[in-house]
A and B are shown apart, each in its own frame.
Chain A
């Protein structure tokens, strides 16, 4: 049963700490994406990766970092430099040659 998993579902961190959000997919998709959603706003692109060992900044990359060491995994680190990190974070993947992105269940990050 293929899909995208994100863990944990809810995450709390203290201000000033870095935190890493997990995203794993077994769909054999090449491209992966990270978005954040804030209340009343659409999804905004943080980072994306078309292939292993390559990734590009999206529209709101400041304060975030990613890695793509394996095709199946695209973890997102929210650093202490991110000024407003409390949000709902969504990971997505896409098969090359298509335009539909498939999303994971999301991680709700709350900074205390």
Chain B
């Protein structure tokens, strides 16, 4: 059962335009969300995160939006650059009944972003 889903396997955008990557989740006990960027044959690098008590977090060209009622989050990249071409993973932290998580994250399948010059 995939609790975190990235339904778009790939996305192609023109340089300078906006890239919007989407992520849906099913478990309402997820309380913290992260986006990672990954190049082929490398480890993921952390991009941006958001707590469930917020609906927006911004860091430079990257903005993450969270819609708790829809169980949906999105990553906006503006403006997109060719160097942004990579696989993007969203991840969610699950709080257990005791209020701990042990830092365990559940990852989506990833979306391949290609930014054309």
In the complex, what distance in Å separates the CA atom of A104 from the CA atom of B41? 11
Out of A6, A31, A102, which one reaches B102, CB within 8 Å?
A31
Chain B: interface residue total (CB-CB under 8 A): 25
In the complex, what distance in Å separates the CA atom of A88 from the CA atom of B91? 18
**Chain A binding surface, main DSSP class:** strand
Q: Is A50 an interface residue (CB 8 A)?
A: yes
A-side contacts of B102, CB under 8 Å: 31, 48, 50, 56
Q: Is B34 an interface residue (CB 8 A)?
A: yes
A-side contacts of B32, CB under 8 Å: 99
Those of A36-92 within 8 Å (CB) of chain B: 40-45, 48, 50, 56, 58, 88, 90, 92
Chain A: interface residue total (CB-CB under 8 A): 29
Instruction: Give 1 or 0 for each of A94-108: 1 = CB within 8 Å of chain B CB.
Output: 100001111111101
B49 touches A43 (CB 8 A): no
**A/B interface sample: 16 pairs, CB < 8 A:** A6-B43, A33-B104, A35-B107, A40-B9, A42-B108, A42-B109, A42-B110, A44-B107, A58-B104, A90-B44, A99-B32, A99-B34, A99-B93, A100-B34, A103-B36, A105-B43
Give A residues with C-beta under 8 Å from B.
4, 6, 9, 31, 33, 35, 40-45, 48, 50, 56, 58, 88, 90, 92, 94, 99-106, 108
